[in-house]
A and B are shown apart, each in its own frame.
Chain A
Amino acid sequence: MSEPWEDEEEGAIKKFMFINRKAPYGTIYALESLEVVLISAAFDQDVSLVFSDDGVFQLKKDQDPESIGMKNFSRTYRALEGYDVEKLYVDKESMEERGLTEDDLLVDVEMLSKEELGNLMNEQDVVLSF
C-alpha cells in the first residue's frame, strides 16, 4: 500500500536552515518558526536549526508560561528528534553573554562559534530567518 508521503519524488530534498534570533513569548516569531520547522520536517527535508542572540532563550529549561496565558511550546522542541530534526546549533557567544550554559537547555545542541555558523549557512539551499 502506497502512502501520500511515499509518492514524493526522491531527490527533492533540500537543505533548510532556520535561524532563530528572538526570545519566546514577547513576539510570535519563535512559535511561528517552530510550526514551519515541523511542516518542513513532515516533508522529509534536511532541516537544521540555529539559535542565536535572544533565540537561545527559546531552549531554556523550566519555562512555565501558563501565568501569562500562553501555551508551553518549549516542550515541542523535545519532539523534534521524533521528526528526525536532529541538527540543532547554538551560538556559543550568545549563550555566554546571557549567562547560559548547555545545562540550562532542554535539548541536546551543538555549540558553535559565529564563524562556524557562517560556514554552515553557506552550505544551505534555503535560509529562513525568524
Chain B
Amino acid sequence: MAMLHIVNKSAFGNATLNSCIKTATQGSSILLIEDAVYAAMGNTSMADIVKEAMNKASISVLGPDLAARGMDQSKVIEGISVIGYDGFVDIVAETDNVQSWL
C-alpha cells in the first residue's frame, strides 16, 4: 500500500516531520507544504535527516509555498521534487491513502 504523508508544520522546534519520517515505510511518499517547506532546503540543520529519509520515501515540496516564503527552488535538496498544485493532485490520486500530520 503506497501511502502519502503530508506535513505542514515547520520541522524546527516541532517533532512532526521527525515523527513522520520515522513512521513512513519503504516506498511511501512525503509531501512538504506550508511551513514544512523550509525543511526541503539544503543548508539547514534538518538536511541530513531529510536526505536519510529519501532512502525509503520519495519526497516532494510544494513550489508555491516555497515562493511565498522567499525560498530559492534551486537550493532545495537534490532529489526532492518541486511540484505545483497540479502535481499535488496527481500524487494524491496515485497513492492509496493519505496521512495528514496536522
B3-29 interface code vs A (CB 8 A; 1 in, 0 out): 000001110110000000000000000
Nearest residue in B to A21 (C-beta to C-beta)?
A: B13
Contact B35 A23 (CB under 8 A): yes
The yes or no answer to A1 lying at the interface (CB within 8 A) is no
Number of A-B contacts (CB under 8 A): 67
* Complex: chain A residue closest to B71, CB-CB: A60
Counting CB contacts under 8 A, is B67 at the interface? yes
- Judge whether B95 is part of the interface by a CB distance below 8 angstroms: no
B15 to chain A, nearest CB (A): 14
A63 within 8 A of B: yes
* A62 adjacent to B70 (CB under 8 Å): yes
- How many residues on the B side are at the interface (Cβ–Cβ under 8 A)? 22
Contact status of A26 and B10, CB under 8 A, knowing A61-B70, A63-B69: yes
| A51 beta carbon closer than 8 Å to chain B | no
What per-residue 1/0 map shows which CB atoms of A11-37 lie under 8 Å from chain B?
A: 000000000010111110000000000
Assess A97 versus B44: contact at CB under 8 Å? Given A54-B10, A57-B38.
yes
A 53-80 contacts with B by CB, 8 A: 53-54, 57, 60-68, 70, 74
Contact A25 B70 (CB under 8 A): no
Measured CB to CB, the nearest residue on chain B to A94 is B12
Q: Which residues of B contact A (CB under 8 A)?
A: 8-10, 12-13, 34-35, 38, 41-45, 47, 64-65, 67-72
